[in-house]
């Protein structure tokens, strides 16, 4: 056993280090990731130890980061690109959606693009405009990409390594408001000994209703479950972990037992992840449902000025309110 207590950010840093030690074709690319270690310090110390050839400070152009990473992947490298903030991924959107996602399909399997695109996502840190976006639905809608979100240090440590080891291109979403939260990580475990990258997981068992979340909202859902316990309600919390492909089997199982589902995410609800989940759960569990699948999401507005983000973001009370509505049906 080598259980360490790490912040989510440090867990990512350590996971990146392990991946670079394991395979010298793994290279990191991004803005300010070298000497500075990234604006969130996720790559702290890696350039010092692995050199400028493997931890590359790039020019300030996101399409260029992704486009050149494609060429490097064609050449046999495994690029891990850092997009500095969620709202800055849009200049690279064409390269991700039109090129990264389609290269393998277009070439009838001749070419794999084993690359990872790391994106700190979501709000809650008091940032200015374009620094608190939730772009997951755009990428999850695109076949050819896989999209995952970690929620705690243990998953951060293992999922980043699993993503880098994957032969498919992965959009790797990091809950930036959780970067500083600590948790136990058993760094002695191998990648095969932990939950596979694309499986969801029950993170708190319960019997009365199911709450499904991913990324930054997993903690919110867990906090809500703790509060609900005091009111005598037992909530089962599931961390989706992989947004594309989605592993809803544990969700179906859970809903068949509890009869109720609340989906929580920060992104706007309209045409979002929750809509897809609600549709699938309805198709699969129609006769088990005691009430409609309810969604707790960001509002269908642009992300507001940070003094208003506490109102905008789903919180413990909004989750509990949705649970109440589910029981009131």
Partner 1 sequence: MTKGATAPRRSGGSRGRGGTPPEPDYVQLLTPDGERVSHPDYSVDFSDEELRGLYRDLVTVRKLDAEATALQRQGELGIWASLLGQEAAQVGSGRAMRSQDMAFPTYREHGVLYCRGIDPIMPLSLFRGVDQGGWDPVANKFNLYTIVIGAQTLHATGYAMGIAKDGKVGTDDGEAVIAYFGDGATSQGDVNEAFIWSSVFHAPVVFFCQNNQYAISEPLERQTRIPLFQRAAGFGFPGVRVDGNDVLACYAVTRAALDNARLGQGPTLIEAYTYRMGAHTTSDDPTRYRVSSEVEAWQAKDPIARVRALLTKEKIADDAFFDSVDADAKAEAVQLRERVLTMPDPDPAQIFEHVYVEGSPLVEAERKQFEAYAASFEGSAH
Q: What are phi and psi of 134, to 5 degrees?
A: -130, 85
Identify the residue among 2, 59, 287, 301 touching partner 1 (CB under 8 A).
Answer: 59
Choose the binding region for partner 1 from 12-20, 60-68, 258-266, 286-294 (rule: CB under 8 A): 60-68
The least CB distance from residue 197 to partner 1, in Å, is: 9
Closest distance to partner 1 from the beta carbon of 219 (Å): 27
Residue 28 has φ and ψ, to the nearest 5°, of: -105, 140
Applying CB under 8 A, what is the total number of residues that bind partner 1? 43
Binding of partner 1 at residue 32 (CB under 8 A)?
no
Site string for partner 1, 204-243 (x = CB under 8 A): ----------------------------------------
- Token couple for 309: 């983000």
Among 3, 36, 61, 308, interactor with partner 1 by CB under 8 A: 61
- Taking contact as CB under 8 A, which single stretch among the options 12-20, 94-102, 123-131, 210-218 is the one that binds partner 1? 94-102
Q: Which is nearer to partner 1, 23 or 44 (CB)?
A: 23
- The DSSP secondary-structure symbol of 73 reads H
- Cα–Cα distance measured from residue 29 to residue 280, given in angstroms and rounded to the nearest whole number: 37
Please say whether the beta carbons of 120 and 174 come within 8 A.
yes
Q: Which residues pair with 149 in a beta bridge?
A: 173
Identify the active-site residue in 131, 141, 198, 265.
Answer: 131
Q: Could you give the CA distance from residue 274 to residue 182 in angstroms, rounded to a whole number? A: 28
The reply to whether 95 sits near partner 1 by the rule CB under 8 A is: yes
Q: How many whole angstroms from its chain centre is CA 50?
A: 26
Bridge partners (DSSP) of residue 30 are 57, 82
Instruction: Kindly tell me which residue out of 5, 107, 229, 270 binds partner 1, with binding defined by CB under 8 A.
Output: 107
Say whether residue 192 binds partner 1 (CB under 8 A).
Answer: no
- 57 and 105 Cβ atoms separated by less than 8 Å: no
Give the HSE-up count for residue 148: Cα atoms under 13 Å, Cβ half-sphere. 30
User: Is residue 258 within 8 Å of 210, Cβ to Cβ?
Assistant: yes
Q: How far apart are CA 28 and CA 320, in angstroms?
A: 41
To partner 1, the closest distance from the beta carbon of 65 in angstroms equals 9
Report the relative pairing of strands 261-268 and 294-298 from DSSP bridges. Answer: parallel
Residue 29, helix vs strand vs coil = strand
- Tokens 């983000």 locate to 309
Residues 132-171 that bind partner 1 (CB under 8 A): 143-144, 146, 166-168
Looking at beta carbons only, is 61 or 188 nearer to partner 1? 61
Considering only 1, 2, 53, 192, the residue that binds partner 1 (CB under 8 A) is 53
Q: Are 109 and 103 in contact (CB under 8 A)?
A: no
Task: Report how far residue 242's alpha carbon sits from residue 248's, in angstroms, rounded to the nearest whole number.
Answer: 10
Whether 131 is catalytic is yes
Which of 3, 5, 21, 105 is the binder for partner 1 (CB under 8 A)?
A: 105
CB of 102 to partner 1, least distance (A): 8
Catalytic residue ranges = 131
Positions that interact with partner 1 (CB under 8 A): 27, 53, 58-59, 61, 63-64, 66-77, 91, 94-95, 98-99, 104-112, 143-144, 146, 166-168, 244-247
């Amino acid at each position: 056993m080598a259980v360490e207590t790490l912040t989510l950010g440090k867990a990512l840093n350590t996971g990146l280090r392990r991946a670079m030690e394991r395979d010298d074709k793994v290279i990191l690319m991004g803005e300010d990731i070298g000497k500075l270690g990234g604006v969130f310090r996720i790559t702290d110390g890696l350039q010092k130890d692995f050199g400028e050839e493997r931890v590359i400070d790039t020019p300030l152009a996101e399409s260029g980061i992704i486009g050149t990473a494609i060429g490097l992947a064609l050449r046999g490298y495994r690029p891990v690109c850092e997009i500095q903030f969620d709202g800055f991924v849009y200049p690279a959107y064409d390269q991700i959606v039109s090129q990264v996602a389609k290269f393998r399909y277009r070439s009838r399997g001749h070419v794999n693009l084993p690359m990872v695109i790391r994106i700190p996502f979501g709000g809650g840190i008091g940032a200015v405009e374009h620094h608190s976006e939730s772009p997951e639905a755009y990428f999850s809608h695109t076949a050819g990409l896989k999209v995952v979100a970690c929620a705690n240090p243990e998953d951060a440590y293992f999922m980043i390594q699993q993503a880098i080891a994957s032969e498919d291109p992965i959009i790797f979403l990091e809950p930036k408001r959780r970067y500083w939260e600590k948790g136990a990580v058993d760094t002695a475990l191998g990648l095969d000994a932990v939950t596979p990258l694309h499986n969801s997981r029950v993170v708190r068992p319960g019997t009365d209703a199911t709450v499904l979340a991913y990324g930054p909202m997993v903690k919110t859902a867990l906090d809500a479950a703790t509060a609900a316990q005091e009111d005598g309600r037992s909530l089962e919390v599931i961390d989706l972990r992989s947004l594309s492909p989605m592993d809803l089997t544990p969700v179906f199982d859970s809903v068949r037992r509890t009869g109720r589902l609340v989906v929580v995410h920060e992104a706007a609800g309209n045409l979002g992840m929750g809509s897809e989940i609600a549709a699938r759960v309805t198709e699969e569990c129609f006769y088990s449902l005691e009430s409609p699948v309810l969604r707790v999401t960001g509002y269908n507005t642009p992300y507001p000025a940070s003094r208003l983000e506490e109102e905008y973001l789903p919180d413990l009370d909004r989750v509990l309110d949705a649970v109440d509505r589910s029981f009131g049906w």
